[in-house]
Structure 1
């Protein structure tokens, strides 16, 4: 044995118990009381919790968007992930016109492989569905890419697919065992409302929210769920942020349909009021934060089990880039940071009694691992699983600041947030990559995950 984590309390999605964890190489090899090996490095977890590392199933690193590129490189983003207890990062690879699925993934992997500080996988966003691409779905799944994304929005940017293409993707995804994720908003309503606001001279960040309010997202949620139900195909809705969409997810699940909803910490903590702030443009993302009713509905979805996962949609831009839209919200690059904040935020809410620690592990680790085909190696602490482990100190007080984050972004929307409890240590496949505030990993350590198809 190489390492033994001793004296801590193990928390998985289903269990909470005291035990030691023995690691050999990259794997957990024993879980028992009082494990002894004189040659092993001892990691003392007294008065701390031992958790599986989180999986952030929704990030956009080095992503070209809005006339620039998202601020975090693969190195910076995965470094921040490690420091936030995220040991697996899923990034979106956007298909370019004429490009195949595997070709798209390989192109992004050339950037990611030498930089990644933790393990990673790709969702490929389908933007140019030819017959050849549709026929490549099975080969892509065999290659280890078992999830694809479609955009119901970003028509002008060339990312949007129509309902017919989305239905083809849903049907083929079910056939080959791939999960299909959807960004649901209505682009025509957004364009109409945006044009009206600009004509009226209403250009502040507040009108970013009003250009795509609750009903604009909800309509697309309802449409996506309708197609999935009609075709009897699984569906994963990314970054769900509105009450009516949450209600439709619950209804479909109660009817027995395989619908998964993901939401993000920013929707659970902030409301649309942030867009009234002087720095409101820093909070611009799509979908935007919504009103209090929607936030309450998302928390209820977490309580009921109808929210399946928490992810971040991590897509930050520098403050000077956000300032491009100081006088015109349409020029603000869309995206916020969160990859280092997701697990600490959710664990802090558990520490305050809002939900259980087991539920946080389920939302941030176990469920994404199962849904996206990398369980049981990821998402739990068990003999044979990867030694992706977080040691959490529930007694540590922590205040988020740009100065104690590990991203390349020059600000954080989480500035000043006080957390009850914080991550002490992160291990990625048995290697300590973060300890007591210091990043100890290295670029190139992370491995591409070859994921399994859905049964």
Structure 2
């Protein structure tokens, strides 16, 4: 007798699809049994009825309880992890970003470790460096010992979070030494500052001009500069929130030359364009980079579908409208960032459907298997691509053992959904601790119906079942170390791949 079985499921991984029963025991997938076999006995059996079952989402870009200047996001780990589970995400990665230059990278990360004890889902962390000094190498070593194997740096935001080029270069070298990953926010600061100043002088600095002050050229110029530093140091680099096809193409060209570079985009860049800044509520869309032209969005979506983009993350930042409306007249003073951890799954899935122009029936996209036509499965290749973007690649690139696959030995983080079901976004019905959604009123497909996190059913037809603060800290493997892991399906079922542990374990003094 096992703990849980999800029976008669269309099990979709990034590497293949099959109809099967998923067997869960002690928080892990213990077996994936062919659907022709008898359903194993369990304390609870959920009949998927041919619906898709995918690995729980991994959102590698969230900002939780983040302090930036005079503003603090309104969420905490209890709120954001709950919203993540509502949205089919079972692992979130936050950033230990120093609140100002007096706070060290190590202290910022330890602060987030303490706050994350209230999480309802598993959590991993990135570090962040603002300035270089002689203590930084030792701090990065300690972060790596804690399982924090990446560092984010900003190429813009002069005077707050921006890191100088020499700091970026030195940190990249340290991350190579420590087998880590460098995260980069790429916007060319000099271009952005000059463009913003031109708009100040013209009296065009309100929120309706945001997209004009941060041009596509600034993003692509910064990507070129960072790629040169990555090539010089040999550092693996992950570009966050890429919003232009040009930036994605630069990464693709670098990868063709053997560089270890990755592109992330966010759901809002795939379904919103810069017309939102002439809408009734332009403050709903204050983020950096801003939304781009309709032509740019269409081209970015093509790359989202064809494999040029590697991950989709929310860049979740939970401000509310009162904070955003304090300085509508001056974008330099208002907080930027959008709530999105809960809507990442349906927005990304809908964008992928639209990019592939997939019909609502499975017949036109049947790749040789037999998905359930009753559930309108939009083609196995497309579903597998979605799993790669939503879960498998974020887990693999970020060195998260035990995440990103429905396979024996992996964590029992599972999502059941019907690709044909559509819902309309109502910001007031979401759970992210704010009072709006940038996707308000949009009709989206790909919402989770059942969510299992660590073997616990946290969302089903009866609603949400709060598991309490059971989330674990997931120490990450090194970048090269993670690439040596056995492929899903090759791991012995009795091996404990996941190194997740209760918060506080191994933290030291």
Q: Secondary structure, in 3 states, of the residue corresponding to 2:322?
A: helix
Per the TM alignment, residue 300 of structure 1 is displaced from its structure 2 partner at its CA by: 2.9
On the 8 A contact 1:5/1:21 being kept in 2, the answer is yes
Distance 1:127 1:320, change over 3 A: same
Q: Tell me whether 1:371 sits opposite 2:397 in the alignment.
A: yes
On the 8 A contact 1:217/1:245 being kept in 2, the answer is yes
Please show how residues 23-102 of structure 1 align to structure 2 within 5 Å. Answer: 23-33=24-34, 34-95=37-98, 96-97=100-101, 99-102=103-106
On the 8 A contact 2:317/2:338 being kept in 1, the answer is yes
Q: Secondary structure, in 3 states, of the residue corresponding to 1:7?
A: strand
Q: Tell me whether 1:269 sits opposite 2:271 in the alignment.
A: yes
Per the TM alignment, residue 30 of structure 1 is displaced from its structure 2 partner at its CA by: 1.0
Per the TM alignment, residue 170 of structure 1 is displaced from its structure 2 partner at its CA by: 1.0
CA–CA distance in 2 between the matches of 1:307 and 1:243?
Answer: 10
Corresponding residue for residue 314 of structure 2: 312
How many equivalent pairs are there? 452
Among residues 384, 387, 397, which one is paired with 1:358 in the alignment?
384
On the 8 A contact 1:141/1:176 being kept in 2, the answer is yes
Q: Secondary structure, in 3 states, of the residue corresponding to 2:422?
A: strand
CA–CA distance in 1 between the matches of 2:303 and 2:40?
Answer: 45
Q: Tell me whether 1:415 sits opposite 2:440 in the alignment.
A: yes
On the 8 A contact 1:351/1:357 being kept in 2, the answer is no
Per the TM alignment, residue 81 of structure 1 is displaced from its structure 2 partner at its CA by: 0.4
Among residues 160, 184, 188, which one is paired with 2:162 in the alignment?
160
CA–CA distance in 2 between the matches of 1:37 and 1:306?
Answer: 40
Corresponding residue for residue 108 of structure 2: 104
Per the TM alignment, residue 378 of structure 1 is displaced from its structure 2 partner at its CA by: 0.3
CA–CA distance in 1 between the matches of 2:335 and 2:69?
Answer: 5
Deviation string for 1:228-287 (max 9, x for gaps)? 122222111000112321221121112221110100000011111111112111101011
* TM, length-normalised to structure 1: 0.95
Which runs of 5 or more structure 1 residues have no equivalent in the other structure?
none
CA–CA distance in 2 between the matches of 1:334 and 1:421?
Answer: 27
Deviation string for 1:165-211 (max 9, x for gaps)? 11111111111111000001122222222222222221332321111
Q: Tell me whether 1:428 sits opposite 2:430 in the alignment.
A: no
Per the TM alignment, residue 100 of structure 1 is displaced from its structure 2 partner at its CA by: 4.6
Q: Secondary structure, in 3 states, of the residue corresponding to 2:458?
A: strand
Distance 1:251 1:396, change over 3 A: same
Q: Secondary structure, in 3 states, of the residue corresponding to 1:325?
A: coil
CA–CA distance in 2 between the matches of 1:251 and 1:190?
Answer: 25
CA–CA distance in 2 between the matches of 1:167 and 1:47?
Answer: 50
* TM, length-normalised to structure 2: 0.85
Per the TM alignment, residue 226 of structure 1 is displaced from its structure 2 partner at its CA by: 1.4
CA–CA distance in 1 between the matches of 2:389 and 2:164?
Answer: 30
Deviation string for 1:293-324 (max 9, x for gaps)? 32233223223322111101111211111111
Q: Secondary structure, in 3 states, of the residue corresponding to 2:31?
A: strand
On the 8 A contact 2:127/2:150 being kept in 1, the answer is yes
Per the TM alignment, residue 325 of structure 1 is displaced from its structure 2 partner at its CA by: 2.3
Please show how residues 131-146 of structure 1 align to structure 2 within 5 Å. Answer: 131-146=134-149
On the 8 A contact 1:66/1:334 being kept in 2, the answer is no
CA–CA distance in 2 between the matches of 1:39 and 1:21?
Answer: 11
CA–CA distance in 2 between the matches of 1:176 and 1:109?
Answer: 21
Corresponding residue for residue 200 of structure 2: 198
Which runs of 5 or more structure 2 residues have no equivalent in the other structure?
358-380, 481-509
On the 8 A contact 1:236/1:260 being kept in 2, the answer is yes
On the 8 A contact 2:181/2:235 being kept in 1, the answer is no
Corresponding residue for residue 129 of structure 1: 132
Moved more, 337-346 or 289-298: 289-298
Distance 1:97 1:205, change over 3 A: closer
Q: Secondary structure, in 3 states, of the residue corresponding to 1:42?
A: strand
Per the TM alignment, residue 101 of structure 1 is displaced from its structure 2 partner at its CA by: 4.0
Aligned-residue CA RMSD (Å)? 1.7
Distance 1:298 1:342, change over 3 A: same
Corresponding residue for residue 7 of structure 1: 8
Distance 1:244 1:104, change over 3 A: same
